[in-house]
Structures are given as C-alpha cells and as structure tokens.
Amino acid sequence: MLKKLNEYCIRSENGSIEGMTLPIYKPKNISSFDVIRILRKISAFKKVGHAGTLDPFAEGLLIVAFGRKETRRLDYWRSLPKVYEATGRLGIVTDTQDLTGEILSQNESGTIQKQNIETVFDKFRGKILQTPPMFSAKKINGQRLYRLARKGQEIERKANPIEIYDLELIGFANPCFKIRVKCSAGTYIRTLIHDIGQAMGIGATAWELWRTQIGNWNMNEAFTLEEFRREWTLSAI
C-alpha cells in the first residue's frame, strides 16, 4: 500500500520539509545515480543519497534519503538484508556477468534439468566467499573497478564474506532459470548467477534482476519517479 509522501516528511517548526527517507522504484536502463539526479532536481534538496546501487539493467527498490540528517543514516539501511528475484541464462558467460556484456563463451544447456540446478544451490547457501566482479562500483585503491574494466584492465580482487540466507528456484524453462534470494549486504546477484553456472560446468549470466525488499521496506511501497514528482508538488506547498 503506497503511503502519502507527507507521511515520510520531517518538517521544521515553520512547516518546511527538512528531510525524509522513502522507497523509490528504479526502472530499467538508467543508473541509480540517474535516479538521485532526477530526485535532486525535483525536490531541490542538495543532499540526496541511496542505500545500495542497482545496476542499470536491474530494476526495483532503492531507499533514498533527502537532507543532511537523513543521509547520515544511509549506512544503516545499506547494512540490512536484501531480497532479489533474478533470471539467469544458462550456457552463456559474459564479461559483465549480465546480458549487457560481451559474450566470452557459449555452451548448449539442453541436458540440464531442474534438479541439477537445485543440487548446485546447496553450495551457495549460508556463509560463503564471493569475489566482486570487475564491472562494479566497488573501489580498490581509490579506483572504481568498472572504470578499469572499461579500459580492458583486470586486477586481483579479494573474496568477501557474504551470507545467503535463502536461495530458492522459483522458475525453470531451459535455458533460463529464475531465483529468489535473501542475502546480506555486499552480495552481487549477477556474480551469484555466474558462480552457479560455473559450478554446473556450463556457465550462466544474469538476464533480469529485481530488488524487491531491503529490511522491512518493500518494492510494493515504492514511489515511481512520476509519482514522487506529483506527490512532491502537493507536499511542498
């Protein structure tokens, strides 16, 4: 149930809006920073930030904070468990680990059965180590990995501890499979799909990705950019 924007607003004694934290829906094919840029322009807030980047090809929930006090709390929201749904494409490996990248290898997946995938899932539940992809916003030695990757450079990355609280196969139509994942902060879902493909000996890449939940925040509660624009016009009066 979508709340009114006013319910998220923190107002000063004179009634002006000092800040707010609320769920925003990020559509496909724009970056998380594009969303922040649009919201900053609509609201005229100088301090606007989000709690966890979504890749441009992905869609779903962003938690967005406005104002100095609220943006200081973003680290807390970033630390919360997250829930995703994603579609993986068997038999294809790309340099970005998703459909936007260049194909590195391609294999037939005709013999793969549902039970083959579910058996492999056992290796990825619980506490595991995951190596961040080169095409990511993660910084190493002050440099964004994706900037190095675009120059054709690859550097050694340390595997990070993450936790997969739940991993469920919710759809399979060869060569595609769909999963629902509840995981700790810092988990790369396209890397999880890539690693599942590697464990199966056939490769896989992320085809679609939705973030549906962060902590208790749900995608069904999120404002689209147009809904935010309309509500902000009414709330800021």
pLDDT per residue as tens digits for the range 171-193: 999 999 999 999 999 999 999 99
Question: Range(s) for CATH 3.30.2350.10 in the chain?
Answer: 5-79+215-235, 82-214
Determine the pLDDT at residue 237: 52
Contact at 8 Å (CB) between 234 and 138?
no
- In CATH terms, the fold of domain 82-214 is Pseudouridine synthase (3.30.2350)
Burial label, 28 (beta-carbon count in 10 A; 0-12, 13-18, 19+): middle
| Peptide bond preceding 175 in cis form (omega within 30 of 0) | yes
Overall pTM > 0.85: yes
Q: Does the domain formed by 5-79+215-235 have CATH 3.30.2350.10?
A: yes
Beta bridge partners of 25: 61
The share of the chain scoring above pLDDT 90, in percent, equals 80
Determine the pLDDT at residue 236: 62
Return the active site residues: 55
SS3 letters across 103-121:
EEEECCCCCCCHHHHHHHH
Could you tell me the two tokens for 24? 């925003």
Region class of 123: left (phi > 0), else alpha (psi between -120 and 50), else beta: alpha
Across the chain, what does the average pLDDT equal? 92
Q: Could you give the CA distance from residue 226 to residue 141 in angstroms, rounded to a whole number? A: 38
